[in-house]
Structure 1
Amino acid sequence: MRPTVLAAALLLAAPAFAADDAANKLAQDAIIVDTHIDAPGGLMSHWAELGKDAAKFEFDYPKARKGGLDVAFMSIYTSAKQDGEGTAWQTANEMIDAVEALAARNPDKFALLRSPQDVDKLRQGGRVLLPLGMENGAPIGDDLSQLKFFFDRGVRYITLAHSAANRIADSSYGIERKWHGLSPFGKRVVAEMNRLGIMVDVSHISDESAKETIALSKTPVIASHSAFRHFTPDFERNISDELAKAVAAKGGVVQIPFGTAFVDPKGAANTQAHFRAINEFNKRNAELKAAGKPLESEDEFDKAWAEAHPPPQTKIDAVLDQIDYAVKLIGVDHVGVGSDFDGVDGELPDGLRTVADYPNFVAGLQARGYKDADIRKILGGNLLRVWTAVEAAATR
């Protein structure tokens, strides 16, 4: 490669905002809350000690401390396929066990977090706190008592559905809509989550389901990792202006993800197409299985898809643009961060590759004129306010 081309390539790869002393200082001093990190799913497929540097993971203790991360919601994710196979409950419990074991092995580095009231006490000594967020309500099945079971295990928000309709709600990815809102059981789920003090999460669900959820909930709701559809008009997975305003009016917060699948229009189009292709793949295999014929290879499907759909190269500006838009639309008190680290196969903007990079995000906000007090709200203050309100309503 010629020197001039190499220099241009390095310039393109460099983050638009590199953290300076002021950004690093604020990142370390502020309480940073990230509502969506998929490390537990990674541990299920390739275990690592996250108390040490783990090269295959975007979240681990050294990276978290470098970035200033204080509260990392561990995503307890189960798929629509696991729901159909009846393994979602088992998988969810295994992931929770993995998070508990991580904290038990490293009591000086991690602590489980069950209440926002315990943040200041538990983060003393540089601990990273690990509350749980359940991505997809599938593990509760059709048994309302499972909400109390998972609350007792530490789950503090539940994303009602994921990539397909379940017993609770419709998915934004689904072509056909089963409930056109919440199911009768889903309405009871929302009410019970309010009673227990579990935050209701409207990320991933259809517009109809989200609208009914927001109206029905007696406490503020969150979108744990949803970018704005304004930038990706045909991508229902991202939140509409109307729904974002409804979340804010209820006192809730929209948590912005970092993945290019959400913040980049091309990435969003690829993601939408991918989920539809997966649904068709699963249908074909179901038909082949019923006919007693050999199944198509999932590995070959994944390889062919990746080769045909390379991820777009995205800059940190795409995330900062999301923040700017959100603040103007719904106000700085209703915006936060839900990165989706370890959940997007490394498809992340330059400058936001791991949890060590929050200072770059802070530097970007400072460069765009945000006051430190407002940056603190975005980094975690807003989410902690909502969580506190949900917990207090349950206590009443």
Structure 2
Amino acid sequence: MRIKAFKLERLFARYAEQAKYTLSQSSCESCSMKEILDMADPECKKLWDNLSLGYTRPAGFAPLREAISKRYTSLRPSDILELTPEEGIFIFMNNMLEPGDEVIVMHPTLPSLYELPRTLGCKVIKWPLEVTSWGWRLDVNFLAENISPKTKLLIMNIPNNPTGYIPVRTELDRILNLADRMGTWVFNEETYRGMEHDPAAALPSLADIYPRATVIGGLNKYGLPGTRMGWLASKNRQLIEECAGYKDYTTYCNNAPGEILATIAMRNAPDLLQRNHKIVLENLGMAEAFFKKHRDLFQWIQPNGGSTAFPRLLPPYDVTEMCERAMTEKKLLIIGERAFGLDTNHFRVGLGRLDFSKALAVFSDIADEIQAKRAEAAN
């Protein structure tokens, strides 16, 4: 299998060490080892102190699967397969899809969600998110016109990275009804479920409400992305077992320290979510003020959830040129739309870090310089 370069991750790999500031991180503020261990209950403290660095169980650590299952309303620990989040996407796609299958993917989204089906020989139909006067939206009529009994899989990413889009419940129900009528499987990358900016906008996991749904989650939003711990969840026992068998050819089992740390985190999930959600909302306020001030340079599209936004640099300026200048002149890393397979002049803004104000201050200097050059050219 020959896969196209993962442009998003290659940009981070190329520039992360050179960058002094980063505006486009999707992960939330990371926790220290001490912070997590201080949260440990007596059982987890004992598990940590007596930890063996041998092989772990391939399906996962029972206390962790139990803790993860509590984030759902109807899933059992046996419905959950532990793995690395990106590994989970790779395993699911390879297990589910065959050459010639038709797949519909909401877009923009994480590049692996459309590149892996394409590499596997599927017909990929991109279902575009659109900008309206009230923010991002999915045209459900587009889905109605394109989904058919030939559609094997509908791939979603809600809350969406990079846009922060969340549908309302009536829209989600219509989407799932269309999928159900066609016998279509649904896969949702729902890493940021639980980080809706308005709690009233919260949606249930698709794994709880659609029988042919599989979802992926991880510890990104909890502040432990470095543990590389995540999970696939589905009520379809055969699918979970098949994915577990495929995992024998990838990581086989998870890392022992990560399982204990993840168990502690998931047992304290509400506190960790609240911690990072507070950071996101504070940074969102700063971002709104910045883009309002510079409305003649940028189009701000309000996100509804998660830790990212996807504003647009207005013409005649080019976002790729802006990103390159930011890195070269200011050591500020900005991820532009080409990393997501677009040419619409958007760029990702990450709202989950404590140092966001520093990156925004550097970005403000860039915006001021662009405006100064515009004024000079006008004179």
Higher relative contact order (CA 8 A, sep 6+): 2
Same fold per TM (> 0.5)? no
Q: TM-score, normalized by length of structure 1? A: 0.33
Say which structure is richer in strand.
Answer: 2
Q: TM-score, normalized by length of structure 2? A: 0.34
Say which structure is richer in helix.
Answer: 1
